[in-house]
Amino acid sequence: MLFLFFQTTSVVVVVIETLAPLIFALAWLGLSKLVIQFYDGRTLPPRNRPEKN
């Protein structure tokens, strides 16, 4: 019975060690795009603001 627990645990560890670098890589790419957006400025116009009289 203990063998089944360790076998399942090792599978979970492998899945986590496989997915974690992928998640970190995607986060890194997303942050680099955000930095470029701050550096270059947004290409979208600002939101519509009510005019002040």
Question: 1-53 pLDDT, tens per residue?
Answer: 445 555 667 778 888 888 999 999 999 999 988 888 788 876 666 676 666 65
Angle at 29 between CA 27 and CA 45, to 5 degrees: 105
Q: What is the pLDDT of residue 12?
A: 80
The pTM is what? Answer: 0.54
Three-point CA angle 46, 51, 53, nearest 5°? 155
Residue 41: the pLDDT is: 76
pLDDT on residue 6: 59
Q: Which two tokens stand for residue 15?
A: 């899945």
